[in-house]
Amino acid sequence: MRFAEVFLRLGSALVAWMMMYAYFLWLAAVYVIACGPDGDEMHRLLLGLVPFVCGFAFALQVTRPFAEIHSILRWLGVPLFLLLPCALRSVWGVFQTVNINAIAICADVTPPTWQSLWAPLQLITLLLALYMVARVWRSVAQDKAK
pLDDT in tens, the chain (146 residues): 688 888 888 889 999 999 999 999 999 999 888 777 767 888 999 999 999 999 999 998 888 888 888 888 888 889 999 999 999 999 999 999 899 988 888 887 888 889 999 999 999 999 999 999 998 887 766 666 66
| Residues linked to residue 39 through DSSP beta bridges, in sequence order | 36
What pLDDT sits at residue 145?
Answer: 65
What pLDDT sits at residue 140?
Answer: 65
What pLDDT sits at residue 146?
Answer: 63
